[in-house]
Structure 1
Amino acid sequence: MTETAASEAEVTGPCESSADVIVVGAGPAGSTTAYHLARTGLDVLLLEKAAFPREKVCGDGLTPRAVKQLVDMGIDVSESAGWLHNKGLRIVSGGSGLELDWPELAAFPDFGAVRRRADFDELLVRQGQSVGVRLFEQANVSGPVLDSRTGRITGVTARLGDEKRPVTFTAPLVVAADGNSTRLSLSMGRHRRQDRPMGVAYRTYFTSPRHDDRYLEAWMDLSDHRDGKRRLLSGYGWVFGMGDGTSNVGLGVLDTSTAGGELDWRELLRTWCAGMPAEYGFTPANMTMPIRGAALPMALNRQPHYADGLLLVGDAAGMVSPSTGEGIAYAMESGRIAADVIVQALARITPAGRERALQSYPRILRDSYGGHFTLGRSFVRVMGNQRVLKLGADHGLAHPTLMKFVFKLMVNLSEPRAGDAADRIINALTRLAPRS
């Protein structure tokens, strides 16, 4: 544990610590939430089950949406501070490639960035501590504390440190940022919507001469060869240069690809890497990390996002885009939205006024992301068709103007008010799409 965490945790038996808000989980969503709460002067407890630095399965690539959130938190995103900037996305399919630059917008930076999650997550946590967030590492939350009269959450119980000392933390509001498994949400009756897509991601690292590539790279011809038949998968393989001599190499696939039985995702990644160009260097001898995987909860798949004193953010709220599998930007954005709502709620004089403010959180999420995620869900359904997948893989890159439009739509980067014709079409589609 860090020195700060250790000093917070030095107790000999059961203890109680209270705050204005408890945030459970110190990934990008939880740390962003805690930061924006603490900078207003609120007392915030941030509980993380692991100790930093700790690893998370991720592509490590950040779009301009995520970079904007980092800038808003006062984090130095320059290359001299350890980031590798990228220009956009290179799509590879059918032996051809097309480079698509991040759009130049007033609302977002025109560059993305790459950083290992072990370093990235700790950077966000420390930024929160710099504005007063009280961090408890190795705090394994075991369940909610409920008001017996109202059923509202009023805190959490946890096991703290290597000794797993029982601890009770109390606060009038709790934020669940504990990832896809989100035990806290489940214990409060927040179950996953079965009508929303799920995805999986598996990744490893290789030493590679591609490590300083200025484009994120997505290969669109992932396929399954069970029973001797080639079946295209609804997903992509990625190669993200880390700038440190290694590349993050992985695959992200939608659950619509698992027809006919669960795939061995690790073996699929090994097979795909073995078929990559020799100059990439993706050989077993160059692999520096084991293959690890994680689920991708998509399209606001766990609801309600607020009830009974509990708000959901990030993966706990299903904030992964079904179009791209991007989660970090939306995790951080949902954390900031939740913090803004909580700050306003806690400033209200009456309990009824506080509750009205808090009830706005699910509506803001729907208004902000419902249309885009609905379009993404429609994209998922279309891409589940083998003929459509094959048509896109064989001929998509032959239409660069169309691909630029689709790229802008999928990565959700358009001018919200002004902009070109593509921006206006994207904004209209997003407004018209149902939000739920």
Structure 2
Amino acid sequence: MDADVIVVGAGPGGSATAYHLAKHGVNVLLLEKTEFPREKVCGDGLTPRAVKQLIDMGVDVGPEQGWLHNKGLRVIGGGIRLELDWPELASFPNYGLTRTRMDFDDLLARQAVAAGAKLLVNNNVIAPVLDAADRVVGVTAKTPEGEVTYRAPLVIAADGVSGRFPLALGVAKREDRPMGVAVRRYYRSPAKHDDDYLESWLELRSREGGDKLLPGYGWIFGMGDGRVNVGLGVLNSSVAYGKTNYRQLLIDWMGSTPEDWGMRDEANADGPIMGAALPMGFNRTPHYTRGVLLVGDSGGMVNPFNGEGIAYAMESGALAAEIVTQALARPEGPDRERALQAYPQELKIRYGGYYRLGGMFVKLIGNPQVMKLATKHGMPHPTLMRFVLKLLANLTDPRGGDAMDRIINGLSRVAPAV
């Protein structure tokens, strides 16, 4: 055997998994198809849920280390601009962060290596290795030197949106779950680059056509380095999904922003417009099968309420590491399988009801009239919007907490798990 566990993909989910496995004394091999640093399409905004995971991995998130801290979310819609601070909770810190994925993923991978994981880059995993019982016992990877086979009793699929590894096992995405698509671009913007709030736009308008309303929702996140990350997303509950030129949509929206922000001028663009899918609400299951556990985007774990994926990738990675460590302490066979089956069960307990609510939310806001009414009547009420922030960002204390926490936690418990 080459390792106790092979982790496919060194994004946030894979590196978090490898880090926690290594911390538990497990011999872990982390395979990444590219080299670091490398580009990744993302909003680059981290909520307090993700910050907690970084702290759990021992990452120094101080401003002097290149992190831009933010106080909360600025919501813009219905002619109203509302600043909502992150809630004060026992379970999560009260600040968020931004950092480009160009070095964020590299930093996490290095943290996994420092904990004892073995990282191999330029190893593009192309197929599982199966035993006579059709169980995965390793992987085949394409490297610059040719194809290589690595063997381990357990494999973690953390290969992102494409999910090529689970697809090779017949684990396809589910069409009955929410899906989104997002595009983003960097712009040089001295006026906005050091904003201490993440900015969310519930309504997008175009300067062309008489200030017409555009489909989707948008964001502008300051990066603290002279640039902003600007993007928009469209959900599959919208009639515009799959029928829109998303790149042109972004340019149209930028045309309506204030001139001093610098986003109307193509000369201020830093790089191309890039897009990616957002696999939401457990849109690929089962999360454990035949010696393979799915982590993060590979298992469709993006939050349907807000499109956040990094926190859930890292959380599921930490959970997978905990369960795999316990499973490896048992003999191969029924006893080990029993331990591994706890992974999908625990995921369902943690997120199943909440994601069910998120699926209903996606269907509702896909209707422009519903979204318009919600914006018009919700935005003028700060207390209601603080509740909405907690719900959308999944930021509550599981025990105790305030009345808002108890309502959200109660709704998540009574909703049938997806």
Which band: TM-score by shorter chain? over 0.9
Letter in 2 for 1:71: I
Q: List aligned pairs for 1:47-62, cutoff 5 A.
A: 47-62=31-46
Q: List aligned pairs for 1:105-254, cutoff 5 A.
A: 105-148=89-132, 150-161=133-144, 163=145, 165-208=146-189, 209-222=191-204, 233=215, 235-254=216-235
Q: List aligned pairs for 1:363-378, cutoff 5 A.
A: 363-378=345-360
Contact 1:211/1:241 (8 A) holds in 2: yes
Contact 1:198/1:298 (8 A) holds in 2: yes
Equivalent pairs, count = 416
In 2, the alpha carbon distance for the partners of 1:277 and 1:81 equals: 31
Where structure 1 has 5 or more consecutive residues not aligned to the other structure, the ranges are 1-16
Q: State the superposition RMSD in angstroms.
A: 1.8
1:380 pairs with 2:368: no
Letter in 1 for 2:140: T
Letter in 2 for 1:402: L
1:28 pairs with 2:12: yes
In 1, the alpha carbon distance for the partners of 2:155 and 2:176 equals: 27
Displaced runs of 4 or more, over 3 A: 223-232, 258-261
Aligned to 1:266: 247
Contact 1:232/1:389 (8 A) holds in 2: no
What is the CA-CA distance between 1:396 and the residue it aligns to? 2.5
What is the CA-CA distance between 1:353 and the residue it aligns to? 1.2
What is the CA-CA distance between 1:133 and the residue it aligns to? 0.8
Q: Structure 2 residue aligned with 1:74, among 58, 61, 69? A: 58
Deviations 1:228-282 (A, max 9, x none): 995653x411000001111011112211224486110000001111111112110
Deviation larger for 293-302 or 401-410: 401-410
In 2, the alpha carbon distance for the partners of 1:56 and 1:231 equals: 29
Contact 1:218/1:237 (8 A) holds in 2: yes
In 2, the alpha carbon distance for the partners of 1:184 and 1:419 equals: 40
In 1, the alpha carbon distance for the partners of 2:50 and 2:64 equals: 18
Aligned to 1:339: 321
Aligned to 1:95: 79
1:417 pairs with 2:379: no
Deviations 1:267-314 (A, max 9, x none): 000111111111211021111111000000000110000010010001
Contact 1:231/1:386 (8 A) holds in 2: no
Contact 2:235/2:241 (8 A) holds in 1: no
Aligned to 1:395: 377
In 2, the alpha carbon distance for the partners of 1:321 and 1:332 equals: 13
Where structure 2 has 5 or more consecutive residues not aligned to the other structure, the ranges are none
Distance 1:142 1:225, change over 3 A: farther
Distance 1:245 1:261, change over 3 A: closer
Q: Secondary structure at the match of 1:76?
A: coil
Q: Secondary structure at the match of 1:419?
A: coil
What is the CA-CA distance between 1:224 and the residue it aligns to? 8.7
In 2, the alpha carbon distance for the partners of 1:226 and 1:171 equals: 57
Deviations 1:101-136 (A, max 9, x none): 000001000000011101100000000000111111
Deviations 1:165-211 (A, max 9, x none): 11000000001000111111001010111100100111011111200
Q: Secondary structure at the match of 2:55?
A: helix
TM-score of the aligned structures, taking structure 1 as reference length:
0.92
1:46 pairs with 2:27: no
1:298 pairs with 2:283: no
Deviations 1:291-346 (A, max 9, x none): 00000000011000001001000100001011000000000000000000100000
Contact 2:43/2:229 (8 A) holds in 1: yes
Distance 1:288 1:382, change over 3 A: same
In 1, the alpha carbon distance for the partners of 2:102 and 2:8 equals: 18
